[in-house]
Structure 1
């Protein structure tokens, strides 16, 4: 029922949540020697998820290592400006998706009550 009720937005929220965690991990490891920054290709993950892949499979196939513009001498590929920008953009999209779902739930709740 949730697939039909929420459409693509339920899967999108799940992927965006996972992406926030991964980007946060990149930021937290900015000073860790040898750490390789990763990101989730949202479009590829959503396509895989809608194609029938489980959440973990979709995330796994869409996770990519970042190619740094200026790699550090210690092998760390985290570039804070890139990570912070990606985190902020994803957070805005997460909030928008969450607001849409909240509106959909409120509509269904009013329909159930007969309002």
Structure 2
């Protein structure tokens, strides 16, 4: 009997990918904290994960290179964030403390998903070897 990794792992690989993209967005905000006129960006994790789940359920595949890849056409959830602080005069909306906290929170969620995936892999390995 074949093992279906999609059924075994579920949405967790997509969750890891979205968390990695979110880390890139937050890191970009931190890197541009002193850039005049830079607007902080944020990712809505829930909507991005819901889109990934719907793509996983529909199983859309590109059958011809001239077709649009719908998976890349869907918004990945990145948008400008509503600032928490008043404008400091240079037009920058990045609050470095908030971004650091968001990065730490995202990192903890990423590590938790990674540990879950490692547990699933260990369980599959035990099933394969008959332990």
**DSSP 3-state at the match of 2:94:** coil
Q: CA deviation at 1:57?
A: 4.5
1:82 is aligned, of 67, 87, 98, to 98
Report what 1:71 is aligned to.
Answer: 87
Match of 1:33 in 2: 36
Task: Report the Cα offset of residue 63 of structure 1.
Answer: 1.1
* 1:47 has 2:63 as partner: no
Aligned residues: 113
Aligned with 2:24 (options 3, 21, 26)? 21
2:117 corresponding residue in structure 1 = 101
* C-alpha separation in 2, matches of 1:22 and 1:2: 29
TM-score under structure 2 normalisation?
0.79
Greater Cα radius of gyration, structure 1 or 2:
2
Which structure has more RCO (C-alpha within 8 Å, separation ≥ 6)?
A: 2
Q: Which runs of 4+ in 1 moved over 4 A?
A: none
Equivalent position SS for 2:112: helix
**CA RMSD in angstroms, aligned pairs only:** 1.5
- 2:90 aligned counterpart, secondary structure: coil
Deviations 1:26-75 (A, max 9, x none): 00110111111101100000011111162x445x3411211112222111
Relative to the length of structure 1, the TM-score reads 0.90
User: Hey, which of these two has a bigger chunk of helix by percent?
Assistant: 1
Unaligned runs of 5+ in 2: 56-69
Query: Secondary structure of 1:76's match?
Result: coil
